[in-house]
Structure 1
Amino acid sequence: MSIANLRRRLEEKVSGYSVGDVTNTKFVKPQRLLKTLSVLEQKFDDLENSIPLDEKIFRSISKLESSGFEHLTRRDWKNLAWALSKILPGTQEKLLFSDIGKRIIRNFQQSEIDLIGLVYFPLLYSYFALENEDVKNKPAIWLQLRDVLNTNRSGVYRNSKQPKKWMSTLVDYSEILSNSPTKSFVKRFLQDQDSSSLSRELESLQMAPNSWFWDDLIKSSIKSIKDMNEQDYLKVIPRFIGLAEQKALYAADILVALLERYAKTSEREKVHEVLKCLALNQWGNPQYDSSAGWNNVNPDTKRMVIQWFVRADLEAFFKLFSASADVNRFNYWIKFIDKISFSQIFLGPSALQSQQTQHKKFRELNRGRLKELMGSTSSNNAFLLKIENVYIVDFSDTGNACYAYNYLPYKDKNRRILIGELKNKNTVLFVKDGKKIALSHSGDWEARFDKHLENIGISSNQHRAGNRNSGYGRK
């Protein structure tokens, strides 16, 4: 407990006593008796704050409608307070928002502290029992209910001979009845190892699982991502990913916030595999225009994720699956990454059937994206890159040339692709001495590729030598 909260609780309790009240401390406290008393008090509090049956609540409402406020009993008053978050038979809205509910709140606004003390917890329960849809536009009557609770909180606490746990909770967390009820909880919510610790701490308030409070807490936490410093943000990514898995309703909002913030970090070029997988499952492949979910993020953020897929595909192709591939080709193609809008991996039988842990993990994370290469050697794989408006096809096994097309050389809906579909010299874009050709990787092939690519309108913004530090240098 903070010093401020402790001082507040002491002041509110002490103010209810006169200076002459002195506790006699000459006798030993009966600890066992006090413990038994505490248990009995807790049982009494639970019974006192148990929600009455609907038929009793509805009976009190009927009594109010027929006889007015003057003939209500203490039990009727409590029933009316419990009723505010309920939908009455034959109606479509919560009682709080009906004419009867508004009359009840107006009456409580003018009531003495003795009556408010009687109905305070039922009012508090009804306040938190409302859902986000009920209060998202902050209706006036809901704010009036909050004002009744906030105005009378101290008086109820002072008048209580034995403050209840929920009273102490309200004193310790005074902002819970303010315009920013979850602001002070956000940091704890994100940093606590035990995600249920906050729920346990606020347990005495008996908030419903679908309360607007939890919705506000999650949304406030998501909003906080934008203003986090980079170090704090990178630390909380796993917490938000776990939250997205637990709370599917907020998954899209969480994903948007995480990706937008990641795009502004110094690590944006580093593939975040879990985020990439979450994004793929949520919105599909960003490389397809049909994946409309990607309109939720800025174009620059979408480009970042596309580059994640491209980089991951090239790294898998040249390092993970293709032991015999010339890894210098990774350094060559990765320099075009800022111009690549689409990538596709074609795996041969060896790569598709491999039981190596890393192979299985890559296939699982990219389920639905990979295609099978047919009609070639077992070890051969292929990749396709769309650079600007040109489709480049290359292979892992030596002896296979590189091809370029101005169209997608296969039917994208097919999962199995014949190698002949990727090798069509009749329609390639590379030309030498008036003849269409595919480019081999012999000799100083990088310079030759540069020249042919420039001839069809493709050039890199990066100098080739600047890509040697990619991590995939010569072996």
Structure 2
Amino acid sequence: MLEVAALRQLTHDLAAAIGAMGLQTGEFGKPELVEMSAREAEKIFQGYAKAKPSKEDAYAAARAFLRGQKLDAWQKDLVASAVAEPIQEMSGVTVLGSRRLLELLGSYEAEAKRGDLWRLTWHGLLYSYFNYVPSLARDESTQAGWEALRAFLERTWPLIDQQVGRELVPDWIGILRKEHEVLTAAPVEKYSRAYLRGETEVTDRLAADLGIPPSSWFWHALVLDTVERATDDTDAEFRGLLPRLLNLIQGKPGFRDEALEAILIRYHACKGSPQDEQLRDYVCQSTVWKNPKLKAAGIATAWNRVPDTVWEMVLGWVNKQNLEDFFGILAARNNADEGRLDFWSKYLTQVTWTRLVFGRDTMILKRENPNIRDLIAREEGAYAQLTGKPEVDAFMMRIGSYLFIEFSKKPNACYVYQSDQLPFEPYLRHYDGGTSDLAAGYNTNCALRIVHREGWASRAEADLRRLGISPDRPDVRRAVSTGAATASTMRGRNADTGVTVFRKEASASDSDVPSLRALLSRFPGALMDDLRKADGGGRLWIKDPDQRVALASRLEERGFKWANSRQAWYYVER
């Protein structure tokens, strides 16, 4: 009986103890409430573990340091979080660029070796390490200061790691234990390799736990290192990595232009450099580099980052797409292709400029027709509109020294004009579409008028040959020239529209021998034969056995003319 009484008393005392702890509402043996409290405590701990001082206080400490003032113990801890912060009152300089930085880091390191360095002070320096923005650096000393900070963190990390121990480890300590490579002289190598394998989880966790901001040098280095590694691969491997590279750039747009420059130059070096629609559509977006045709109008200036041959490659892709879109979507809507797409495709490598001109009906149809909507979006900033014929669209293209105007609906003919004798401006935003501009050749002289009646293709091919234009040779590589509808060496602005236009104006420098030699060096096999004499007789000749379109266009712009008798170009002296 005594045992039973003792058991009852023990049970009563246990229940009272549980009640006193506030656990009577939970089922004994179920740890949900304890786990919830633990999670809350962990959250609070992690917050304190990477807490940063007031930004204003840290900024004030950094400013005092740069002014040569002696910091007290509290300010010395504060300044760690602001060593990469530009101080506006001192023309944007940072503590990283100060001559006293090494002294400051040395004092921190001495404390770390004694075990006296406050962990949050070291975390503040880590924060500054990732918040460094190279583009804001004023001089080489700032970059050198950042390198010194990195080396300090790498040296002292083992001391901090040891000091923390294994209990209640902050997230940023945990991730650094696994990813300490981020403090080495090759901080992004591991992560760029992972990106190329399609693995982004580690980098995402690193950014979250270490608080790496979007503007950090880390992302700049990661993007460029990833791109550099991809461009070092074979053509096939590089092209296979393009979707991942573009996805990376989209996610880190602040470093887009440098990456795109490297990608486009490498792609141009690929054998044949076949069109890549994803690359074309991305780089030609109005929010990225814009349509390459707009470079000639001084709008898409980002294309100046790459050599002309690279720009010409993408311009060729756009021209090809324009040709296919016009006849495959616009003319086909009116059953008016009549074999024109197949015909003009035979001259595709010689097309150096295109422009779409949309009628009112097409602009209305974009609301319900996704193909037309996408087409107009791709041509944003480059297309024009027809005001006189709402049901008709037009297509401009330049081949050699001629500008061609095709219309999307019968019975309109194709008009061919000499590009230096146009009856209209090629960069206007609006055209009537009739005999006052695009179809002026109906009433006045034009170089050629192609009427699309039965048998037109064979007649047109013969007429084009008489103009010196023959179908592409199968082995001719894509070569486009300046992208301007009219030959240009002088830029001006149309008084009515404000749009930049180009006009031909030859000068003595057009026949300058050194510049011509530099031009010809880009076209192996092309030769210069200068037969000019002191008394004014003779001519300067350029011979190109391969008769490359790109070279022909450049020579034409300089004032050269083609001589059928010698199958060569000669400079027209003025």
Query: Does the 8 Å contact 2:385/2:429 carry over to 1?
Result: no
Aligned partners of 1:182 and 1:217 also within 8 Å: yes
Matched, 1:295 2:304: yes
Which residue in the other structure is 1:85 paired with? 84
The equivalent residue for 2:511 is: none
Q: Say whether 1:259 aligns with 2:268.
A: no
CA–CA separation in structure 2 for the residues paired with 1:362 and 1:389: 27
Residue in 2 that maps onto 1:22: none
Residues of 1 paired with 2:64 and 2:255: CA distance?
40
Distance 1:238 1:82, change over 3 A: same
Query: Displacement, 1:253?
Result: 2.7
Identity, % of aligned positions: 21
CA distance in 2, matches of 1:344, 1:143: 51
What residue is the counterpart of 1:397 in the other structure? 409
Q: CA deviation at 1:80?
A: 4.4
Question: Which secondary structure state, in structure 1, belongs to the residue aligned with residue 44 of structure 2?
Answer: helix
- 2:131 corresponds in structure 1 to 129
- Secondary structure in 1 aligned to 2:447? coil
Could you say which residue in structure 1 is the equivalent of 2:551?
none
Deviations 1:245-293 (A, max 9, x none): 5554333334334433444557844462673364252444423523443
Q: Quote the Cα distance in structure 2 between the aligned partners of 1:304 and 1:375.
A: 35
One-letter amino acid of the structure 2 residue matched with residue 141 of structure 1:
G
Report the equivalent of 1:101: 101
Q: Is the 8 A contact 2:319 2:353 kept in 1?
A: yes
| Aligned counterpart in structure 1 of residue 316 of structure 2, from 304, 307, 330 | 307
Find the partner of 2:337 among 326, 350, 353.
Answer: 326
SS at match of 2:450: coil
Matched, 1:387 2:388: no
Which whole-Å deviations, capped at 9, do the CAs of 1:182-211 have from their partners, x for residues lacking one? 111124446668x78734334332334433
Q: Say yes or no: does 1:200 pair with 2:205.
A: yes
Q: Could you tell me which amino acid in structure 1 is paired with residue 470 of structure 2?
A: S
Report the counterpart of residue 210 of structure 1 in structure 2.
215
Residues 94-115 of structure 1 deviation map (CA, whole Å, 9 limit, x = unaligned):
2233244332123334452413
Aligned match of 1:410: 424
Structure 1 pair 170–327 and aligned structure 2 pair: CA distance change class (3 A): farther
**TM-fit CA distance, 1:169:** 2.1
Shift, 1:409, TM fit: 3.7
Q: Which has the higher contact order (CA 8 A, sep 6+)?
A: 1
Change (3 A) 1:210 1:439: closer
Q: Which residue of 1 aligns with 2:447?
A: 429
For the 8 Å contact 1:80–1:104, the answer to whether it is kept is no
SS in 2 for 1:441: coil
Measured in 1, the distance between the counterparts of 2:424 and 2:351 equals: 18
Select 1:456's aligned residue among 467, 477, 482: 467
Distance 1:158 1:32, change over 3 A: farther
Match of 1:21 in 2: none
From 363, 370, 382, the equivalent of 1:369 is 382
What is aligned with 2:160?
Answer: 156
Residue 140 (str. 1) matches residue 144 (str. 2): yes
Moved more, 98-107 or 315-324: 98-107
SS at match of 2:445: coil
2:373 and 2:258 map into 1 onto residues whose CA distance is 30
Which residue number corresponds to residue 7 of structure 1?
none
Secondary structure in structure 2 of the residue aligned to 1:394: strand
In the alignment, what sits opposite 1:220?
225
Q: Pick which of 321-330 and 220-229 moved more.
A: 220-229
- CA distance 1:66–1:38, shift in 2 (3 Å): farther
**Which residue of structure 2 lines up, in the alignment, with residue 51 of structure 1?**
52
Q: Which has the higher helix share?
A: 1
What amino acid maps onto 2:84 in structure 1? S
Residues 255 and 279 in structure 1, CA contact (< 8 A), matched pair in contact too: no
Matched, 1:181 2:183: no
Tell me, yes or no, if the aligned pair for 1:348 and 1:372 is still in contact at 8 Å.
yes
Structure-2 separation of matches of 1:446 and 1:225: 45
Partner of 1:360: 373
Report the residue type matching 1:461 in the other structure.
Answer: D
Alpha-carbon distance in 2 for matches of 1:326, 1:134:
56
Question: What CA distance in whole angstroms lies between the structure 1 residues aligned with 2:66 and 2:414?
Answer: 84
8 Å Cα contact 1:108/1:148 also seen in 2: no
Query: Residues 177 and 383 from structure 1, CA distance in 2 versus in 1: closer, same or farther, beyond 3 angstroms?
Result: same
Contact 2:223 2:259 in 1 (8 A): no
5+ residue gaps, structure 2, are 1-30, 475-574
* Equivalenced residues, count: 423
1:165 alignment partner in structure 2: 171
Q: 5+ residue gaps in structure 1?
A: 1-29, 431-437, 464-475
Q: TM-score, normalised by structure 1?
A: 0.75
Q: In the aligned structure 2, how far is the partner of 1:305 from the partner of 1:41?
A: 54
274-283 or 161-170, which deviates more = 274-283
Moved more, 254-263 or 383-392: 254-263
User: Which residue number corresponds to residue 433 of structure 1?
Assistant: none
Structure 1 match to 2:480: none
